[in-house]
Amino acid sequence: MTLEILAMNRFDPARAAAVDAETKALLDRRARTFGPASVLFYERPVHMVSAEGVFMQAADGTRYLDVYNNVPSVGHCHPKVVEAMARQAAVLNIHTRYLYDNVHTYAERLLAKLPESLAHLMLTCTGTESNDLALRLATNWTGGEGFVVTETAYHGNSAAVTAISPSSMPGRTLPAHVRAIPAPDAYRRPTNDLSADFAADLDRAIHELKTSGAGFAGFVADSIFSSDGIYADPPGFMQDAIEVVHRHGGLFIADEVQPGFGRTGDGFWGFERHGVVPDIVTMGKPMGNGYPMGGVAVRADVLQSFCDAVGYFNTFGGSPVAAAAGLAVLDAIEDEGLMENAKEVGTYLMGRLRDLARLRPSIGDVRGAGLFVGLEFVSEPEARTPDAALARRAINGLRDRGILIGAAGPFGNTLKIRPPLPFSRENADFFVDALDDFLASEPA
Amino acid sequence: MTLEILAMNRFDPARAAAVDAETKALLDRRARTFGPASVLFYERPVHMVSAEGVFMQAADGTRYLDVYNNVPSVGHCHPKVVEAMARQAAVLNIHTRYLYDNVHTYAERLLAKLPESLAHLMLTCTGTESNDLALRLATNWTGGEGFVVTETAYHGNSAAVTAISPSSMPGRTLPAHVRAIPAPDAYRRPTNDLSADFAADLDRAIHELKTSGAGFAGFVADSIFSSDGIYADPPGFMQDAIEVVHRHGGLFIADEVQPGFGRTGDGFWGFERHGVVPDIVTMGKPMGNGYPMGGVAVRADVLQSFCDAVGYFNTFGGSPVAAAAGLAVLDAIEDEGLMENAKEVGTYLMGRLRDLARLRPSIGDVRGAGLFVGLEFVSEPEARTPDAALARRAINGLRDRGILIGAAGPFGNTLKIRPPLPFSRENADFFVDALDDFLASEPA
Ligand SMILES: Cc1ncc(COP(=O)(O)O)c(C=O)c1O
Ligand SMILES: Cc1ncc(COP(=O)(O)O)c(C=O)c1O
């Protein structure tokens, strides 16, 4: 998460003086309880008290438009999700070694949204647990130990998943069983055939792993490449790469923690945009709209081989409460047309941002799919020089204009526009106008 | 969890014929959605519909006394925990990179229950995530890679934590950086000085790790040794071992997922029984009474070094909803005197079980602390021959008598008596009488 940290600030006691007394007291308590692990957004951290839909309310009375958070994907504190969770928690909350029905209703509905070859669902509590399990499934199936990821990927926080998260090890050599390939970045690496280039990089990395003796277990990729800087186009550019993965006997693990659950607007899953079929799909963040849940959809043969060899038990994963929350999230996405909204408002938003980019040369690129949009700041448009300082100023400047947002990418110069899915055209207008206003306030 | 699996049954379609049509349909759905990962308790799995306090209600109308589950530690569906969680979920549910206050109130209350040297709290979602993080903290701090655990330990399901969970790798060689020492089992390995013997085993294992080049990072132990078979006596027997850990420059990681939160009755944490001070304490299961939450309390210097080198972010860990659930659990333990109840009822229960053991030679040993009791079945009392078949029959026989229970230990012959903490003397009587009745029904 180093990229995000570029746009954040480690807690600095000096900063506390700038905030009011209540917030200062809270910062002190935070420093005492969390210690150096206290990483906060913003130069002046925001003290939150409530949230609803696409808005968050701070203690000082400011209402913020949330253009950042994808966990509350169907909207902060969605009443139906809260109710489903509360009602189930009052009745039964146990683990999966007893029989109960709603977890299977949930699994059936989720599996129906996935390619048929992904026959089974395993339930976990976080994106990290899902990816950690996926690595175990892939090494068990292939006998290989090696994984390929993209250069600024983040897949989670466990020991095994940190090892495949180059963004958690900036400037350090990756472990011997991991190779990182450049993100599919057509803006900085213009190409005539992104799909072929991306596949060629992957092929080279796999050869290296095989030569090194690590073998090849799989390719792990977030199909929206969120921490790499958000790359969605052209649709289909992952196809050649996935063919390479399979040709080498490895598994394609699609990390849908970011693009999944309707965000990209093209389909329920990000990988659908590319017409590829993963061997394992991992899920997290938006799955329970804040209730801690994750999942792994997997091929029957891959799972059978894992269960024959090891097995898996997750205490909280797949509890009736998780299932109830998950079902309410699916209902909300379907009943409220949130995937369609992501597509429509996302297209509108990108259009407006591209219009703005024509007027503001510091906006080098606008790209994305649905409600996952990247906006890259550059200091020299021709040279496309990344301008992380401007991104940092924009994040804080937008905050002063009632908008919460963050940055991504290897240079931290790309605004990560990723609001809750009920984001409206009006919200998009408010955001673009604020961005315009911020840019107008910058010295030319 | 292989030990528990001894007392369980992998789903077998043939078994389905024995259950009613509704349950059969559910088993079919389960086989389709979960596939081979479907591991269920009991020869005839129980279809649960609700639970309250120490009771669980099955679809066929049976009310079961729960003598097994420690996640719903303050009682199934505790109304105050449910209410706290629901109320908070309706107001604000975000991650820790914004400021909000209840998570610090929670951390303050929890840290106040821990030795002062454990200055900071990191919040995760599961026991696995807590232990995985603890391993990372310890390797970063010591520069060593090696860990020592007990022979039948279970610490969780991630790649790194599975590597230190011998019970997940029955019959297989442990990874090179892991050494397992015998559990502190004074029943099967009579000794004049358990503390010294346990420490000597540990010392040998650490020497081996150092000689092998892996180095020594830490000793991970659940102070009630739950999957090893439950060993609590004599109090203090861990002291020599922890001295050895520190003499070798390693960290003592106390896995409090099982004994923590008042269960052992002696103190809030299991390690208090032994008068030792861990360097890291990991938490899970009972922390949120079913809300997925875990935690790591850690020394300030160990955390500082980790944050300087890496850092950590957990999306759902420490959310306001987790904090609300955690606070309600602390309230329940304190307001309802559950730790005191664990001590009193646990002592009463062990007394009654020991009385029963005098009449029933198949009960070889009764041991434990508070409401964590092990009861070991043996076929030949003199030889102390483990009788796993009897444990299996007892689990199913008790189920027929309205009681849910499981087994632990390397032979699967030890009943694991671990009910929600509001367990009463009356509940204890019901359980002991049912056990007596079951044993009376066994052929002599
Ligand atoms: C693509 C991706 N995968 C996995 C994760 C890990 O999720 P969690 O923090 O819930 O473990 C993240 C979190 O940022 C993510 O962005
Ligand atoms: C002692 C101990 N530690 C850790 C864990 C892992 O907890 P979880 O399944 O919540 O990850 C368990 C679970 O059984 C446990 O018994």
Centroid of chain to Cα B259: 6
Tens digit of each residue's pLDDT (9 = 90 or more) over A80-137: 999 999 999 999 999 999 999 999 999 999 999 999 999 999 999 999 999 999 999 9
A13 pLDDT higher than 60: no
Average model confidence (pLDDT) for chain A?
94
Confidence grade of residue B10 (pLDDT, cut at 50, 70, 90): very low
Phi-psi domain of A170 (left: phi exceeds 0; alpha: psi -120 through 50; beta: other): beta
* Higher-pLDDT residue of A170, A175: A175
Q: What does DSSP assign to residue A174?
A: P
Q: What is the model's pLDDT at position A2?
A: 36
Confidence grade of residue B40 (pLDDT, cut at 50, 70, 90): confident
Total residue count of chain A as it appears in this document: 444
The SS3 call for residue B120 is strand
Tens digit of each residue's pLDDT (9 = 90 or more) over B105-128: 999 999 999 999 999 999 999 999
Residue owning tokens 């409220």:
A336
For residue B83, the distance in angstroms to the closest alpha carbon of chain A comes to 8
Q: Which atom of ligand 2 is nearest to the CA of B1?
A: 14
Average model confidence (pLDDT) for chain B?
94
- Inter-CA distances, A24 with A16, A19, A46, B106, Å: 5, 6, 11, 18
Burial class of residue B339 in the structure, from the number of CB atoms within 10 Å of its CB (0-12 exposed, 13-18 middle, 19+ buried):
buried
Whether the CA torsion A45, A49, A51, A54 is positive or negative: it is negative
CA of B291 to the centre of ligand 1 (A): 19
Topology at the third CATH level for domain B79-335 = Aspartate Aminotransferase; domain 2 (3.40.640)
Cβ atoms of A413 and A365 within 8 Å: the answer is: no
Q: What is the pTM of this model?
A: 0.96
User: Could you give the residue ranges of the DSSP H alpha helices within B52-101?
Assistant: 79-89
The 10 Å Cβ neighbour count of residue B426 is: 10
Q: What does DSSP assign to residue A419?
A: -
For residue B67, the distance in angstroms to the closest alpha carbon of chain A comes to 14
The whole-angstrom separation of Cα A45 and Cα A94 is: 37
Residue owning tokens 């009681």:
B403
Q: Which ligand is nearest to the CA of A257?
A: 1
B8 pLDDT higher than 70: no
- Residue B234, preceding peptide bond in cis (omega within 30° of 0): yes
Query: Which amino acid, residue B81?
Result: V
Chain A residue numbers touching B293 (CB-CB < 8 A): 292
Confidence grade of residue B149 (pLDDT, cut at 50, 70, 90): very high
The SS3 call for residue A200 is helix
User: Could you give the residue ranges of the DSSP H alpha helices within B90-126?
Assistant: 102-111
Q: Which protein residues touch ligand 1 with a CB less than 6 Å away?
A: A 126-128, 131, 154-157, 222, 226, 255, 257-258, 284-285; B 314-316
Centroid of chain to Cα A405: 14
Interchain contact B172–A (C-beta under 8 A): no
Q: What is the model's pLDDT at position B338?
A: 98
Centroid of chain to Cα A60: 29
Whether the CA torsion A377, A380, A385, A388 is positive or negative: it is negative
Tens digit of each residue's pLDDT (9 = 90 or more) over B379-421: 999 999 999 999 999 999 999 999 999 999 999 999 999 999 9
B169 pLDDT higher than 70: yes
| Beta bridge partner(s), residue B436 | none
Phi-psi domain of A275 (left: phi exceeds 0; alpha: psi -120 through 50; beta: other): left
Cβ atoms of A289 and A72 within 8 Å: the answer is: yes
**Whose C-alpha lies nearest to ligand 2, atom 3?**
B155
* Higher-pLDDT residue of A23, A369: A369
Confidence grade of residue A20 (pLDDT, cut at 50, 70, 90): confident
What's the Rg (C-alpha) of chain B?
21
> In the structure encoding, which two tokens stand for residue A163, read together?
């090892």
Q: Which of A40, A50, A129 sits opposite B129 (nearest CB)?
A: A129
The SS3 call for residue A106 is helix
Q: What is the model's pLDDT at position A443?
A: 86
A6 pLDDT higher than 70: no
Confidence grade of residue A1 (pLDDT, cut at 50, 70, 90): very low
- Window 254-293 of B, Cβ < 8 Å to A: 284-285, 290-293
Centroid of chain to Cα A48: 22
Contact A48 B92 (CB under 8 A): yes
The whole-angstrom separation of Cα B70 and Cα B290 is: 9
Q: In chain A, what is the greatest distance between 2 CA atoms, to the nearest angstrom?
A: 65
Domain boundaries, chain A: 5-74+337-441, 79-335
Contact A308 B36 (CB under 8 A): yes
Centroid of chain to Cα B277: 19
Q: What is the model's pLDDT at position B14?
A: 54
Cβ atoms of A273 and A369 within 8 Å: the answer is: yes
Nearest to A147 by CA among A79, A216, A194: A216
Q: What percent of chain B has pLDDT over 90?
A: 89
Confidence grade of residue A9 (pLDDT, cut at 50, 70, 90): very low
Q: What is the model's pLDDT at position B171?
A: 84
A14 pLDDT higher than 90: no
Q: H-helix or E-strand containing A102? A: helix A102-111
Tens digit of each residue's pLDDT (9 = 90 or more) over B224-273: 999 999 999 999 999 999 999 999 999 999 999 999 999 999 899 999 99
Confidence grade of residue B47 (pLDDT, cut at 50, 70, 90): very high
Cβ atoms of B423 and B68 within 8 Å: the answer is: no
Q: Which pairing describes strands B363-369 and B372-377: parallel, antiparallel, or unpaired?
A: antiparallel
* Domain A5-74+337-441 and domain A79-335 have a common topology: no
For residue B28, the distance in angstroms to the closest alpha carbon of chain A comes to 10
Q: What is the model's pLDDT at position A5?
A: 36
The whole-angstrom separation of Cα A29 and Cα A282 is: 36
B18 pLDDT higher than 60: no
Q: What is the model's pLDDT at position B42?
A: 80
Tell me how many residue pairs between chain A and chain B have CB atoms under 8 A apart: 308
Q: What is the model's pLDDT at position B247?
A: 98
Report, as an integer, the average pLDDT of B156-160. Answer: 98
Topology at the third CATH level for domain A5-74+337-441 = Aspartate Aminotransferase, domain 1 (3.90.1150)
For residue B254, the distance in angstroms to the closest alpha carbon of chain A comes to 19
Q: What is the model's pLDDT at position B92?
A: 98
Chain B residue numbers touching A291 (CB-CB < 8 A): 89, 292, 321
CA of B129 to the centre of ligand 2 (A): 9
The whole-angstrom separation of Cα A282 and Cα A114 is: 12
Q: What is the model's pLDDT at position B15?
A: 47
To test the pocket of ligand 2, the residue of A132, A315, A316 to mutate (highest count of ligand atoms within 8 Å of its CB) is: A315
> In the structure encoding, which two tokens stand for residue B385, read together?
């021959």
The SS3 call for residue A149 is strand
What's the Rg (C-alpha) of chain A?
21
Chain A residue numbers touching B95 (CB-CB < 8 A): 71
Burial class of residue A382 in the structure, from the number of CB atoms within 10 Å of its CB (0-12 exposed, 13-18 middle, 19+ buried):
exposed
- Window 81-100 of B, Cβ < 8 Å to A: 81-82, 85-86, 89-100
Cβ atoms of A282 and A111 within 8 Å: the answer is: no
- Inter-CA distances, B222 with A190, A267, A432, Å: 55, 46, 54
The whole-angstrom separation of Cα B122 and Cα B16 is: 44
Contact B33 A104 (CB under 8 A): yes
Chain B residue numbers touching A284 (CB-CB < 8 A): 315
**Whose C-alpha lies nearest to ligand 2, atom 9?**
A315
The SS3 call for residue B122 is strand
Cβ atoms of A233 and A367 within 8 Å: the answer is: yes
DSSP per residue over B162-229, as a string?
HHT-GGGSTTSPPPTTEEEE----TTTS--S-HHHHHHHHHHHHHHHHHHHT----EEEE-TT-TTTT
DSSP per residue over A222-291, as a string?
-TT-TTTT----STTTTHHHHHHHHHTT-EEEEE-TTTTTTTTSSSSSGGGGGT---SEEEE-GGGGBTB
- Inter-CA distances, A275 with A240, A271, A406, B191, Å: 11, 7, 29, 65
> In the structure encoding, which two tokens stand for residue B108, read together?
């303050």
Query: Over B335-401, what HEC string results?
Result: HCCHHHHHHHHHHHHHHHHHHHHHHCCCEEEEEEECCEEEEEEECCCCCCCECHHHHHHHHHHHHHC
The whole-angstrom separation of Cα A380 and Cα A386 is: 8
Confidence grade of residue A39 (pLDDT, cut at 50, 70, 90): confident
